A = this chain, B = another copy of it.
Amino acid sequence: MTPKAQNTAQGILFTDQYQLTMAQLYFRMGVHEKHAQFDHFFRKYPDYGSHQAGYCINAGLEQLIDWMRDARFGDEEIEYLRSQTGRKGERVFGDDFLVWLRDNGNFDGITLRAIPEGRVVHPNVPLTVVQGPLAMAQILETALLNQLNYPILIATKAARIKGACRQQPLLEFGVRRGPDTGVNAGIRAALIGGADYSSCVGISRALGFPPKGTHAHSMVQVFLALDEGAEGELGAFRAFAEIYPDDCVLLVDTIDTLQSGVPNAITVFEELRRRGHEPVGIRLDSGDLAFLSIQSAKMLNEAGFPDTKIFLSNELDELVIWQIITQIEQEAHHYGFKPNDLISRLVFGVGTRLITSMGDSALSGVYKLVAIDDNGGWKPTIKIAETTAKTLNPGYKLVWRIYDKRGNATADLISTNGYDPGEMDNLLLRHPIDHSKSRTLRRERISKIEPILVKVLDEGKIVRESPPIEEMRRLRERDMDRLDAGVKRLMNPHIYHVSLTQELWALKQNLIKSVNGNSSKR
């Protein structure tokens, strides 16, 4: 595939075929320019099998908006659609539709409200709300889901892993096991969600972060094989320290961590120090990382390097890191030092399990038609699914985050348009599915009510510039600080409340009845 073909495949044709056939149908019915509203939301938190998320981190919006700005049907795309034929050889797309698409096939008419990147988000809450001409809002579905679902998944995993790291640095190392160029979006999400830096050069540069790294086993192997000066691993370490005297992190497990790697590293660190440089650290990439951290720290301490960092890598994730830290806490004192003195030296490099969200590799994000403008008024739409849990929340909606007296987020409340919880004495929170469940929050128990959907695009124009990633991280940290510890728990988290107002709940019930009535009339 040529780079040009690849770029075309990443442009407006980065969509499902049925979006285009439906768009033509809307065109033929004359409804293609009626304004429609689609909600993007996810149905369930990631469930990693042995552990589960109790919150997600929103991400991906800026990339989506960048894509929308450039994606449009040009001559090449129109020609291709003109060439498509169906089962009987007839053309799939008519000239009338293609002429319309050539002139209108862009996202300049789309309005977006969204929850900002970096914020904590929950299931069934609209994260991105799309309004615009039906045909183009329909065509947007595939790319929007693609460009938001994966980043949310990875930002969420990064937040969990960062949480497990205590205050220690988290480096993203996953390009090699990640999904082709998609990893760049994943790395961006990881940087929003919790990774401090990435090893990947290109995307780090694009986002303004310095890429981080140490060295690989191959470097040591070269010295072992070529035997330059017969020094093997020690020679490799010396060469590295010579060239990077102030950035010297040595990978110590090519031969034998405690018998060879750490002693050789100490030799080189001593030489470095004599030359006036301070070593940065060692990296452990195999074996029992907790045990080896303790033993290495002991050797480094005895050699006079009590502050050198210990980088850990090799199939890490939130549980493995939690286990490593727990083991250090339990065992460090047997070796004569305080657990925190060691933990505060650790740096975690996480690859595969972060960039692929190992355990749950997809977010259940969907994009659903919830309202259509029928000659001047939003008409709510619904899909009666096989399970009540999957039945849509219809119409134009607002989302409010309710904070309790301690300042913690206690619920997300979804309302119809026009509702203002600021005016209420009490808030009635209805369970979205279970008719028998509701909860009343008295005004005095509420410290703040925050609308969390923000308009970012107004008919294609950016009305809120994406902030830098540092700002997204601050939003994340602030939201995480205001989340109950139980919700942040790695396993069996407490369930955060996502509720409907009485009005929205009633609207939904009425729509279900009316559609069921319609269908039985058939």
Residue numbers of A with Cβ under 8 A of B are 1-3, 5-11, 13-22, 24-26, 28-29, 31, 34, 36, 38, 49, 62-63, 66, 70, 80, 84, 86-88, 90, 92, 134, 138, 141-142, 145-147, 149-151, 173, 175-186, 199-207, 210-222, 224-226, 228, 232-234, 239-240, 242-244, 246-247, 253-257, 259-260, 263-264, 280, 286-287, 352-353, 356-358, 361-363, 365, 367-369, 371-372, 374, 379-387, 390, 515-516, 518-520, 522
Contacts and interface: CB of A to CB of B under 8 A. Distances in A.
A180 B146 contact: yes
A190 to B, nearest CB: 12
Given A16-B200, A17-B213, A205-B80, A239 B175 contact: no
Contacts of A287: 386
Contact of A181 (B181, B225, B257): B181
B86 A246 contact: yes
A277 B307 CA distance: 78
Contacts of A13: 201-202, 205
> Which are the 9 A-B pairs with shortest beta-carbon distances?
A182-B182, A18-B213, A179-B182, A9-B202, A13-B202, A145-B176, A180-B185, A17-B213, A361-B361
A21 B232 CA distance: 19
Given A87-B247, A256-B519, A240 B383 contact: no
A213 B381 contact: no
5 contacts: A9-B202, A14-B175, A21-B213, A142-B175, A255-B384
Contacts of A372: 222, 225-226
B6 A176 contact: no
A383 B15 contact: no
Contact of A9 (B184, B215, B228): B184
Contacts of A217: 368-369, 383
A221 B11 CA distance: 28
B180 A22 contact: no
Given A224-B518, A263-B522, A218 B17 contact: no
A339 to B, nearest CB: 24
Most chain B CB inside 10 Å of its own CB: which residue of A2, A62, A212, A256 = A256
A246 B213 contact: no
A424 B210 CA distance: 56
A519 B361 contact: no
A18 B215 CA distance: 5
B386 A253 contact: yes
A211 B216 CA distance: 42
Contact of A222 (B10, B26, B150): B26
A224 B383 CA distance: 9
Nearest to A134: B222
Most chain B CB inside 10 Å of its own CB: which residue of A17, A240, A264, A353 = A17
Contacts of A519: 232-233, 255-256, 259-260
Given A21-B213, A218-B369, A224-B381, A14 B362 contact: no
A466 to B, nearest CB: 10
B201 A17 contact: yes
A8 B150 contact: no
Nearest to A139: B201
Given A201-B15, A218-B369, A255-B519, A244 B146 contact: no
A202 B15 contact: yes
